[in-house]
Amino acid sequence: MSRNRITLKIYIEGGDKGKDLRARFQEAWTKFFQSAGLTGKMPRIVTGRGRGQTFDLFSTAMQHRSNDEIPLLLLDSEDPVAHNNTVWQHLKNRDGWDKPANASDEHAYLMAQVMETWLLADPDTLRAYFGSKFKADKIPAWKDLEAQSKTVVFEVLDKATAECDKPYKKGKVSFAILGKINPQKVKEKCPNAKRLLDFLAEKR
């Protein structure tokens, strides 16, 4: 007898600025996961919109999930993740959120510290997207990319693209780049991304 296929539904923070951006959000994450080698075993992507709304959608999904469904949560960490802290410990300390009933560590993941951190992990794609005026030398050779604050990440993107025809901007530009970056490079520089992508690859 064949076993029922498990459905992974990943609730991702973002895509809260209108129908067009929500569509771009869905397309970008689909391309990212496909590039990560998940074609044929893709998670269902749920646009969470705001941070709190994303958590609420996930919590509701955990409460009402079926036996063949696994809800996952993906949020910006917004702040550094303390050494040896789990995602749930981070969210409790930062946001005051309790782990939903029946949730475990395998259900929650972080973009540390923001999604743009993942973009900085692949400067070659940034250069290809922004063109010859892109200043890759403005991106420091950090030993720990995930330790860089949200403010620093955005400042670096602003400096690197300041003279480009299309400077960096959250929204259409960020989603266009997300759909092009190399997930392997993100895994190499962002342990939290590796944790998510490894789970998705192994679970299916």
Give the DSSP per-residue string, the chain.
Answer: -PPPPPEEEEEEEB--S-HHHHHHHHHHHHHHHIIIIITTSPPEEEEEESHHHHHHHHHHHHHH--TTEEEEEEEE--SPPPTT--HHHHHHHHH-PPPPTT--GGGEEEESS-HHHHHHT-HHHHHHHH-TT--GGGS---S-GGGS-HHHHHHHHHHHHTTSSS---TTHHHHHHHTTS-HHHHHHH-HHHHHHHHHHHHH-
Average pLDDT over the chain, rounded to an integer? 94
Judge residue 82's burial from the number of C-beta atoms within 10 Å of its C-beta, 0-12 exposed, 13-18 middle, 19 or more buried.
Answer: exposed
Amino acid occupying residue 203: K
Residue 40 predicted with pLDDT over 90: no
Residue 4 has what pLDDT? 60
Q: What pTM value is reported for the model?
A: 0.95
Average pLDDT rounded to a whole number, residues 149-174: 96
Residue 146 predicted with pLDDT over 80: yes
Per the listing, tokens 């036996």 go with 67
* Helix (H) or strand (E) run with residue 109 in it: strand 108-111
Amino acid occupying residue 155: E
Distance CA 190, CA 202 (A): 18
pLDDT in tens, 53-98: 999 999 999 999 988 999 999 999 999 999 899 999 999 999 999 9
